[in-house]
Chains A and B, each alone.
Chain A
Amino acid sequence: MKRGPSFFNLASVVLGLAFLYLPIVLPVIYSFNASRLVTVWGGFSTRWYAALFQDEQMLDAVGVTLRVGFVSATLATLLGTFAAVALTRSGRFPGRTLFSGMIYAPLVMPEVILGLSLLLLFVAFGLPRGVWTVTVAHATMTLCYAAVVVQARLVGFDRTLEEAALDLGRTPLQAFLEVTLPNIAPAVAAAWMLAFTLSLDDLVIASFTSGPGSTTLPMRIYSQVRLGVSPEINAVSTLLIGLVATGVIAAYLVQQRRRATA
């Protein structure tokens, strides 16, 4: 019996990947198109990049987005790692069912509901909406993703090492810092990157929770798209895709090095 992939298997994989990557490759190509039209190739040009770097509103939005991303991803990773430790290492504790429910529910919860409920919270307490409210909202949304990523690593990690540290007289905190943390560090880093990317990408929750002066990049892009397709957006897309690709490749190379030295 044949074990390898058949022609049909290969064709479905190739077509599937083509479908996934077409809308990523297109903006990159068209960001260098001198023509405004998608169907006309007007020659190679960097005019849309030049226009982009003169668009102050867009640059402001990039600044806001990066600040929100850094702070919220750091908060989310910290809280998410605690949550993952509690879920995998604490056994049964009071409120565990409710806790795990609150960890998994935001993963599938429609964003409009999260955005609306957080906005009502901020309004109820009279907090002025701005960069901080968006940051808190993003930390809440991404905390759960961070928890799931770290949890996956904790589940696969050999518990006997921690038990050995405890037997040798380490306190649980010391055992965590000296044994567990170094072992889950790659997952913690991945969790941070995921939280950062999700924050960078979010339109719906940011729209509900932001105020004047805290327009994020997706909100800016969204309002531009509503006005009509602008080639400047292709330039932003290309820069974002480049940023993410660099991050992912760097992470991959670091992992390869670790594997080679291990």
Chain B
Amino acid sequence: MKAPRRGLAALAPFLWLGVFFAFPFLLVAKLSLSDTALAMPPYAPQIDWSKGLAGLAAFVRALDFETYARLVSDRLYISAYLSSLRFAAIGTGILLIVGYPIAYGMARCPPAARRALVMAVILPFWTSFLIRIYAWIAILKPEGLLNAALRALGLPALDILDTDVAVYVGLVYAYLPFMVLPLYAVLERQDHSLLEAAADLGCGPTEAFWRVTFPLSLPGVGAGALLCFIPMVGEFVIPDLLGGSKTLMLGKTIWTEFFANRDWPAASAVAIVLLATLVIPIVLYQRQQARILEAGR
């Protein structure tokens, strides 16, 4: 293909994403520097184009970092920020512990069973996320199924719904396929003769796992962890439906500021802080995806 034609196919999606994905971030950044106003849209200043460049200059002068100063001085925002990171970090940790044995077990099955198992892990992802989270309410609520089962076994009832525990259950449940599949992808390709070599050299099965299998699966661990951690930091539906009023997370904060308090600048500033936090993990994730693509070419 001739050089000028290269990337021609990229034109339409490039323009689309430029207008509807990249450009709106500038608007969010701009709005985070604005003030709230009793108007529609509820923020000031607006650019007065009728005054030409003077209008634009007046607009730029009116922008300030007041909203950010408000975020830093308010303890509620700071604890929402820290609690989001904690939920995502601990959630990713639990997912690794829960997901690894599942992925490992799948990779050990015969090839025909493996294909069916991969399908079985992907399938729940196709059914409504909202409905699956809703089903957990019916399981975890005080007079729900979990407590009915516990009572039948003669065990004391648990009050889990509207607590942080319920949020962890929801996070682990919703993101499990995103952890299992990347782990399975690396474990399935592993050369079994390496383990035989380790055994021949006097390595026990446990030691062989920690010295051979696990280190070789680290790219999958990294991919799974990033794929779960990044969206979890900004998760809204799970903490909103399963967590209590005391459960603070940034996604919930943005939602409340926007819909309940109609404080658009605050919602935007929180979004910018969230984005700034996630930039490094997102770049790491993109690099990894690009590497996989290069390897496949």
Contact = CB atoms under 8 A, between A and B. Distances in A.
Interface of A: 1, 3-6, 8-13, 15-17, 19-24, 26-27, 30, 37-39, 78-80, 82-83, 85-96, 99-106, 108-114, 116-118, 120-121, 123-124, 136-137, 139-140, 143, 147, 151, 155-156, 172, 197, 200-201, 203-204, 207-208, 218, 221-222, 225, 229, 233, 236-237, 240-241, 244, 247-248, 252
B286 A204 contact: no
Given A23-B136, A117-B28, A86 B7 contact: yes
A contact patch SS: helix
A104 B285 contact: yes
A37 B143 CA distance: 9
B270 to A, nearest CB: 9
A111 B101 CA distance: 30
Interface string B12-55: 11101111111111011001000000000100000000000000
Contact of A203 (B41, B130, B234): B130
Contacts of B180: 16
B177 to A, nearest CB: 7
B27 A221 contact: no
Contacts of A20: 120-121, 124, 173, 176-177
Given A15-B102, A22-B139, A225-B130, 16 more contacts: A11-B105, A12-B104, A26-B139, A82-B9, A91-B6, A102-B14, A103-B13, A108-B230, A116-B271, A117-B25, A117-B27, A140-B20, A155-B296, A237-B134, A241-B131, A248-B123
A23 B146 CA distance: 12
A103 B138 contact: no
A105 B21 CA distance: 10
Contact of A101 (B108, B148, B286): B286
B79 interface: no
Contact of B131 (A27, A121, A204): A27
Contact of B23 (A6, A15, A105, A121): A121
A218 B128 contact: yes
